[in-house]
Chains A and B, each alone.
Chain A
Amino acid sequence: KNEVEQSPQNLTAQEGEFITINCSYSVGISALHWLQQHPGGGIVSLFMLSSGKKKHGRLIATINIQEKHSSLHITASHPRDSAVYICAVRSMETSGSRLTFGEGTQLTVNP
């Protein structure tokens, strides 16, 4: 079982819908990252969280350390949001700066 589980694996939405992607992890962490991988393959860091909530434009990321759970929300979704969204954690139990990744959520937003 992967230390980082994401749901759903695939998500299809209509333009304008509110989207939530979930990430659960089983280890103590020092930080959690949300990444976006474009259809062309490039990876961009969206958020890095250790507590609470962060907002950037239409994207909101939250984390609940006690429940070992994070969510990525997209408000007023747009076809250009179509991408793979990846959750990754920096475990406190491992040394160095290793990230452990979830398997990603493929989001498709239809016009």
Chain B
Amino acid sequence: GAVVSQHPSRVICKSGTSVKIECRSLDFQATTMFWYRQFPKKSLMLMATSNEGSKATYEQGVEKDKFLINHASLTLSTLTVTSAHPEDSSFYICSARRTDTQYFGPGTRLTVL
């Protein structure tokens, strides 16, 4: 149990376009989901906490207008990278909270040309 999926697994886009990434908890309900960003050979950097039915809470330094988060249901959170630029290229990973731990999705590799 405790499976989290992400879609797409990989996306390549042109600079200036917007990209949406979906995170789903497949076998449990998650009122709280998290979005992370990971650079090569680095640990995970928390971007924001996504709460079902309310606004996301962003970490310091993360632009909320750049990274739009919607948690519309107990099993789905979406991250939209708006007007993506090459510096937004990264590995984005979501997680879903279940009791006192988090289960992670497989990640989405975003490449902005």
Q: Do chains A and B interact in one complex?
A: no
Interface set of A (CB-CB < 8 Å, partner B): none
